[in-house]
Amino acid sequence: MEDNIPKLFGTSGIRGKYQQEVTLELALDVARALAKYIGGHGKTVVIGRDTRTTGKIIENVMIAGLMQSGCNVLSLGMVPTPTVGYATIKKNADAGIMITASHNPSPYNGIKLWNADGSAYKQHQEHEIEKIVYERDFNILGWDEIGEVYDISSFCDEYVDAIIEASGIDSSKPLKVVLDAASGAGSYLSPEAIRKSGMELITLNCQPDGFFPGRNPEPNADNLVELMKTVKATGADIGIAHDGDADRMIAIDEEGNISDFDKLLTIMAKEFGGVVVTTVDASACLDTQMKKLGGSVLRTPVGDVHVAESIVDNNATFGGEPSGTWIHPDFCMCPDGLLSALRIIAAVQKNGKLSKQLADIESYPTLRLKVTCQNDRKAAVMDEVSQHFSEKFTNIAEILTIDGVRVQFDDDSWVLIRPSGTEPYIRITAEAKTQQLLDEIGKISSDFLDNLI
């Protein structure tokens, strides 16, 4: 967008440290801008927050900003992000707000906005909000037009019942599940959903706590050691971990090993079949499996908003990022870590042990390189990449330039050359069906970048 309006939103809403990037003044202004954007007086907004210590105070100023603009507010309290998306649809609200910094540590917080159809705000909509904030073009009303606020925390029961119903989980076949909610937004509703679906549950870090005392909210191997050990020690069938706002889910197999993120995505995608959507950095194992089922894979830039847009545009059955951010369009366009958990449990009920399902998906040799490149050189270097690869290889099926450059070969092998958004690097990620092709891709990529930089 070609103007000088300061950017507030990043790839996943507004995010930053409390009192630094995310101030109460900004939260108030964003609420006022959202109210203006959706039409002001008489409109309705759903609001929720994760467990961060700064959640309530940010929520309070945002509610004030909405009310003074004439909007009515439906307050869910501390809930997972997907509950906000779903409530926005079911309550016929005009927008939703989730106050969360997702997987970031405790000092951070953030604001994510949702459309009436449960989808995340797109870039052009966020830009409209930025514009209203920058121009301070608010519509603040007098004493006789102030909005109202209602507690709708009881809606959580409806949400839990709806995800259980949608998941296809069989309550007559109880599995033993260990859940680690990171003391984040999934702390209440995720255990409730798993228990209510008939499963036997052991919980870790399911007491809400904005200091995240049990573990860092990013669900990766380093942070999930306790969960992995507990799954193994208790003889559980599966372990489930969420990030701080529970829009993501990662599973641990019955042997206590963390799933390969791409393979877990593939297991879920196989349950849907047809056209599925993922991002440019996801593995070819998904393509191979979907082709076997007569389906296909579409790719988008990194970010769940892009995945959601492509699902709608292409009428896809499912979409997700390897981070465990999965969108189930038959339910809601908001990524849902709780529904993802129930559906992966259902897939274990149906298809057997998770370790076996993961092992059945092929792995290919992969390569990750990082080449130093100053920010002002990145654009020039990226301009040359496509041509370079077209000259060097004859077996290219497609070159995607939607987010970096992704070269896909005839056999689904691929290389992604992508500049880091924040650091002075260009990253090369490649996955090839043979070690020989991988070596060739690696050599050609690094020679090319060394010459240009």
Residue placing its CB nearer to Mg ion in the complex, 71 or 246: 246
Q: Which two tokens stand for residue 67?
A: 């009310």
CB of 437 to Mg ion, least distance (A): 35
Tell me the Cα Rg of the chain: 22
Residue 269 vs residues 122, 136, 144, 347: alpha-carbon distances, Å: 24, 44, 52, 11
Q: How many residues does the chain have?
A: 453
What does DSSP say about strands 396-400 and 405-409: parallel, antiparallel, or unpaired? antiparallel
H-only helix segments in 273-403: 285-292, 304-314, 337-351, 354-359, 375-392
Q: Which two tokens stand for residue 28?
A: 């108030």
Which residue, among 158, 249, 241, 242, has the nearest Cα to 196 in the 3D structure? Answer: 158
CB of 247 to Mg ion, least distance (A): 4
CB of 120 closer than 8 Å to CB of 245: no
Q: Which stretch binds Mg ion (CB under 5 A): 99-107, 125-133, 414-422, 437-445?
A: 99-107
Is residue 102 involved in binding Mg ion (CB under 5 A)? yes
Q: Which stretch binds Mg ion (CB under 5 A): 101-109, 197-205, 312-320, 348-356?
A: 101-109
CB of 219 to Mg ion, least distance (A): 9
DSSP E strands in 205-256: the ranges are 238-242, 249-252
Please report where in the chains the tokens 């489930």 appear, as a residue.
Answer: 240
Residue placing its CB nearer to Mg ion in the complex, 59 or 237: 59
User: In the complex, which residue's CB is closest to Mg ion?
Assistant: 102
Is residue 50 involved in binding Mg ion (CB under 5 A)? no
Q: Write out the binding residues for Mg ion, residues 309-328 only, by CB under 5 A.
A: none
Distance, in Å, from the CA atom of 311 to the CA atom of 304, rounded to the nearest integer, reads 10
CB of 310 to Mg ion, least distance (A): 19
Residue placing its CB nearer to Mg ion in the complex, 15 or 43: 15
Got the DSSP string for 156-176?
HHHHHHHHHHHHT--TTS--E
Residue placing its CB nearer to Mg ion in the complex, 37 or 326: 326
Residue placing its CB nearer to Mg ion in the complex, 98 or 428: 98
CB of 83 closer than 8 Å to CB of 156: yes
The residue count for binding Mg ion (CB under 5 A) is: 4
Residue 259 vs residues 256, 262, 264, 356, 453: alpha-carbon distances, Å: 9, 8, 6, 11, 37
> Can you tell me which of 247, 262, 281, 431 binds Mg ion, judged by CB under 5 A?
247
Is residue 237 involved in binding Mg ion (CB under 5 A)? no
Distance, in Å, from the CA atom of 104 to the CA atom of 218, rounded to the nearest integer, reads 7
Residues identified as active-site: 102
Q: Write out the binding residues for Mg ion, residues 194-233 only, by CB under 5 A.
A: none
> Can you tell me which of 243, 281, 309, 321 binds Mg ion, judged by CB under 5 A?
243
CB of 287 to Mg ion, least distance (A): 26
Q: Which stretch binds Mg ion (CB under 5 A): 29-37, 97-105, 175-183, 300-308?
A: 97-105
Residue placing its CB nearer to Mg ion in the complex, 29 or 247: 247
CB of 241 to Mg ion, least distance (A): 12
Q: Which stretch binds Mg ion (CB under 5 A): 100-108, 128-136, 190-198, 221-229?
A: 100-108
CB of 175 to Mg ion, least distance (A): 25
> Can you tell me which of 126, 180, 245, 287 binds Mg ion, judged by CB under 5 A?
245
Residue placing its CB nearer to Mg ion in the complex, 68 or 104: 104
The SS3 of residue 439 is helix
Residues that bind Mg ion in the complex, under the rule CB under 5 A = 102, 243, 245, 247
